[in-house]
Structures are given as C-alpha cells and as structure tokens.
Amino acid sequence: MISRAPGYFKYQPHSVAAHSWKVTQAAQFLGDVEEQAGNTVDWRMLYEKALNHDISERFIGDIRTPVKYASTELREMLANVETSLSDNFVETEIPTELQDVYKRRLHEGKDDSLEGRILSVADKIDLLYEAYGELQKGNPEPVFLDIYKESLETIFAFRDMPSVAYFIKEVLPELLDEQFPGSETLQRIYITIFNAD
C-alpha cells in the first residue's frame, strides 16, 4: 500500500488506491452535473483519467505536497521523471499492441479538456475532505490546514464550471456548517477565498 502524505501524523491513514477511487467517485458526480448543464462528457476518458491519475506514485511514492509544489521548475522536473518512469514501465511490461493505450492512460490527465478540468477539481475535492477529516479530529499538523486552503483555492479557480458552482453552493456549505474545535478557522479561510474576487 502506498501511503499519502508520508511523514505526517494522521488519524486516518490514506492510501493512493483509496484516493484514486474517491477521486473517481467525485469525478463521476461532477460529470453528472456537467451533463445536466448541457455539456458533453467523454465518460471513458473521464474514468480513465480519474482512475489512473496518481498511478506514477507506484514508482516514486507520494511526494509531500509542499515539496512537490515548491516551485514550477521542481514540479516540471517531477512530472518529467513520472512520465519517463511510466513510459519505461509501459515499454517493458505492456504488450506492444497495447502500449499506446497505456501511455495515454498513465500520463498526466489534468488538462484543458472538460474531463481534465473535472479531474483537477475531483482531486482537490478528495484532498479537501482528507484535510478536513484530519482537522476535524484535531490533528495538529499544520500541513493539513495548508492542504485545506490550497484545495479550496483550486476548486474556486474552476467555479466557472457548472459542477463546481453546484459543489460550492450545495455541498460545501453543509460541510462547513459542522461545528468542532477549530471549525471557525476553516470557515474564515472559506470566506476569505470566497470573497477574494
């Protein structure tokens, strides 16, 4: 099992496999809302992107979020390493006639397509819930507050999408209504991001 957020205390362990499944569920929900709004979703592409979006972590593990995003240059270098390792895996382990399919599946799925944008949001929704769950339990690790804030900021960056507007209006308020020690801080972060326009 590949653990997420290695090196940090967690009340609830998080695996890459469980994260990929939750991201796929969130992507499916977001895709449904997009279709209700009249957009066409390529479901096969969406499911492939969501299920495989962190597959490269089988080669390099889950690198700590603050490290992974410390600079654009570092993020690009890590992306190149992930692509190289994924390509090598495909070329050595996958039958030749299926290699093109698997190279597509195992490469970065977050792009400007509707399915890539849905994946970007679904990934952050699961991160938001992971961080929220740790903070709700009183986890003192400051990284979970950072992950919560960064996830909200990314979700809000996609608010032009009908599915994200729906999530912000219908789902997020219910999450933020829950009261526990420290919940006021999470609500303040939400309000700050929401009013940043």
* Domain residue spans of the chain: 23-38+112-197
Q: Any idea of the CA torsion for 87, 116, 97, 17, to the nearest 10 degrees? A: 70
Helices marked H in 37-178: 43-52, 57-60, 65-68, 72-93, 99-106, 114-136, 142-157, 162-166, 172-176
Mean pLDDT (the chain) is 87
Q: Which of 130, 161, 148, 194 is nearest to 30 (CA)?
A: 161
Task: Say how far apart CA 70 and CA 5 lie, in whole Å.
Answer: 15
- pLDDT of 77 > 90? The answer is no
pLDDT of the residue at 5: 57
Going by C-alpha positions, the residue among 90, 158, 84, 152 that lies closest to residue 118 is 158
CATH code of the domain occupying 23-38+112-197: 1.10.3210.10
Q: Is the pLDDT of residue 99 over 80?
A: yes
Confidence of residue 88 (pLDDT cuts 50, 70, 90): confident
**Highest-confidence segment of 16-25, 122-131, 188-197:** 122-131
Alpha-carbon distance of 124 to 121, in angstroms, equals: 5
Q: What is the pLDDT of residues 123-139, one digit of tens each?
A: 999 999 999 999 999 98
pLDDT for the residue 182: 86
CB 66 within 8 A of CB 9: no
Distance, CA of 192 to CA of 186 (rounded, Å): 10
pTM of the model: 0.86
DSSP reduced 3-state for 15: strand
| Gap between the Cα atoms of 40 and 131, Å rounded | 31
pLDDT grade, residue 180 (50/70/90)? confident
Task: Assign 17 to helix, strand or coil.
Answer: helix
